[in-house]
């Protein structure tokens, strides 16, 4: 009797944890938590600040209950902590329990309360998909960033050699030249830099056009292409896994139906043998 009751409670918690309304409620609580963090950056009356502190305490307790519910509803407890997103949520929730007072941990506690906003990523599947794709694209993006650094370094060396007499503040050494080129690559008043060097070197516009073409167009599109390629592969893999899971579910249902039919056939044969 107790086992059946515990099984019913576990099934109920699973239904609640996986329900759409519960997930929507969690998202709304995370949004409210983000608003409370932003509200604390303003100078508020004492009553409003006290209400926000009580609301923050309620949110912390709710997150603790929610992560506990997810852990209880999980069939494989070890697998629960193998998921990086579950570990992230657990660290954020446990860290939020640190009391915010005049202690050495006050900055850590405040930072963890700010990071609670990131729980939207772990709750919304589409955001998790985007983050996972971005993380998997980082190695290839690293090679593109390395190539971009080489281009920056070469152009910075050339700019420092030719343009340091024009403006020492922008082209004095290779480090300052790289900062200037970063300004050019982000289109922050880059024409002022170009026109200044053109007064001494009229054809220096070629230097800027080539650099902008490489950094702002070629490398940026390469970055976007890498991310899109990883997302496409992840989408195909996810669809393949969903098809396999659907196929396995169908096979399991067919096996269960066959077992039920076999049991019914055995019962019918047993009843016929009794009659005979």
Architecture of domain 140-250: Orthogonal Bundle (1.10)
Tens of pLDDT along the chain (276 residues) come to 454 555 566 677 777 767 778 778 888 888 888 888 788 778 888 888 888 888 888 888 888 888 888 887 777 777 777 777 788 888 888 777 766 555 555 666 667 777 777 777 777 777 878 888 888 888 888 888 899 999 999 999 999 999 988 898 999 899 999 999 999 998 888 999 999 999 999 999 999 999 999 988 888 888 888 888 888 887 887 777 777 777 777 777 787 787 777 777 777 766 766 666
pLDDT for the residue 105: 59
pLDDT for the residue 4: 54
pLDDT for the residue 33: 82
Q: Which fold does the domain 3-123 belong to in CATH?
A: 1.20.120
Neighbours of 166 (CB within 10 A): 17
How far is Cα 222 from Cα 40, in angstroms, rounded to an integer? 41
Residue 232 is encoded by which pair of tokens?
């496409």
Global pTM value: 0.62
* Residue range(s) in the chain whose domain bears CATH number 1.10.287.70: 140-250
How far is Cα 8 from Cα 15, in angstroms, rounded to an integer? 11
* Residue range(s) in the chain whose domain bears CATH number 1.20.120.350: 3-123
How far is Cα 110 from Cα 40, in angstroms, rounded to an integer? 11
Cβ–Cβ under 8 Å, residues 156 and 126? no
Q: Which residue has the tokens 């050339």?
A: 158
Looking at residue 144, what DSSP letter applies? H
How far is Cα 8 from Cα 43, in angstroms, rounded to an integer? 49
pLDDT for the residue 67: 83
Cβ–Cβ under 8 Å, residues 201 and 162? yes
pLDDT for the residue 5: 59
Rg (CA), the chain: 30
> Which residue, among 157, 13, 119, has the nearest Cα to 71 in the 3D structure?
13
């Amino acid at each position: 009797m107790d086992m059946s009751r515990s099984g019913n409670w576990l099934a109920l918690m699973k239904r609640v944890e996986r329900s759409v309304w519960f997930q929507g409620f969690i998202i709304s609580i995370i949004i409210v938590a983000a608003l409370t963090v932003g509200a604390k950056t303003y100078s508020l009356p004492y009553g409003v600040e006290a209400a926000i502190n009580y609301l923050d305490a309620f949110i912390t307790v709710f997150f603790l209950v929610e992560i506990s519910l997810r852990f209880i509803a999980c069939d494989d407890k070890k697998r629960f902590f193998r998921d990086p997103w579950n570990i992230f949520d657990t660290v954020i929730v446990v860290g939020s329990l640190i009391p915010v007072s005049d202690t050495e941990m006050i900055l850590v506690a405040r930072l963890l309360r700010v990071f609670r906003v990131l729980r939207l990523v772990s709750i919304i599947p589409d955001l998790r998909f985007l983050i996972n794709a971005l993380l998997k694209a980082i190695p290839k993006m690293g090679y593109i960033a390395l190539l971009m650094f080489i281009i920056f370094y070469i152009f910075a060396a050339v700019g420092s050699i030719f343009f340091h007499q024009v403006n020492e503040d922008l082209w004095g050494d290779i480090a300052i030249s790289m900062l200037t080129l970063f300004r050019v690559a982000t289109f922050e008043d880059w024409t002022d830099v170009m026109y200044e060097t053109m007064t001494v070197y009229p054809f220096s516009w070629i230097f800027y056009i080539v650099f902008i073409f490489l950094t702002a167009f070629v490398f940026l599109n390469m970055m976007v292409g890498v991310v899109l390629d990883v997302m496409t592969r992840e989408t195909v893999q996810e669809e393949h896994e969903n098809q396999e899971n659907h196929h396995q579910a169908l096979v399991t249902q067919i096996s269960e139906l066959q077992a039920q039919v076999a049991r019914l056939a055995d019962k019918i044969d047993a009843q016929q043998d009794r009659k005979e």
